[in-house]
Amino acid sequence: MAQRWHDLLFAHCPMPAADLRALVPPSLEIHLYENQAWLGVVPFRMSGVRLRASPALPWLSAFPELNVRTYVIKDGKPGVWFFSLDAANPIAVAIARAWFSLPYFRARMSCTTRDGEILYRSERTHRGAPPACLECTYRPVGSPFEPQPGTLEHFLTERYCLYAADSRGQLSRGEIQHPPWSLQLAEAEIISNNMAQAAGITLPSAKPLLHFSELQQMVAWSPKRLSS
């Protein structure tokens, strides 16, 4: 698949790895930076979502998305583990659940810009799923920069695969590719947020580390099954 990500906020909190261990398959190692696990709540909007050999369809290819994630490593390959992904397009949710075995959920969402500020709202509507919502405003501050190897920003963002498990516990890895991230520091006002709690995770009381990215383009390949 190919897609573009717009007006993305990385809101990251350091976490004890033990708080996440039971929620991640045992065959995946939780990836640590200076002995800390990290949890990210990441709202953004997508456009141009399509199979790489197909044109983008207006009614299917542009919608907000919101994910809750941590960072893992297997066989020396760092990647992302998603606790949840909420999206405003029910067809895209169904395809992603079936194709990638990812925990996608339908949600009522909006993402708009006003005076350089992003206004973001999401309320999960997926039948049988834990209630979850996020309402916030955020904005970039400072100049764009490219994360450098060895830094925390590079650890949190420069990842080129995702891991998922199906209903039987079979693990798969999906390779992705994108240019290096262009980040800015960010400010945010969180009006309501229980996205992590819906996944069974209690957030620390400390303020999150915030970064903004205006645009990222990526491609993804079909997931491949992995041995345990």
d(CA 210, CA 200): 22
| 203 SS3 class | coil
pLDDT digits (tens, 9 = 90+) for 124-174: 999 999 999 999 999 999 999 999 999 999 999 999 999 999 988 899 999
Question: Which tokens belong to 194?
Answer: 């229980």
- Whole-number pLDDT of residue 59: 56
Per-residue confidence band for 57, with pLDDT thresholds at 50, 70 and 90 = low
Domain architecture of the chain: domains with CATH: 2-225 (2.40.400.10)
The pTM score is: 0.94
d(CA 15, CA 37): 5
Task: Give the contacts of 56 (CB within 8 A, at least 6 positions apart).
Answer: 47, 48, 49, 50, 62
Across residues 21-47, what is the average pLDDT? 96
The DSSP code for 33 is: B
Select from 97, 79, 72 the least CA-distant residue to 87: 97
The DSSP code for 75 is: T
Name 186's bridge partners: 140
Within 13 A of 128's CA, how many CA atoms are on the CB side?
2
Q: From residue 162, how far is each of 55, 119, 178, 210, 223 by CA, in Å?
A: 24, 28, 13, 22, 9
- Whole-number pLDDT of residue 58: 59
Better pLDDT: 40 or 96: 40
Q: Please state which of the ranges 18-22, 44-48, 52-56 shows the lowest mean pLDDT.
A: 52-56
| 12 φ, ψ (degrees, to nearest 5) | -115, 140
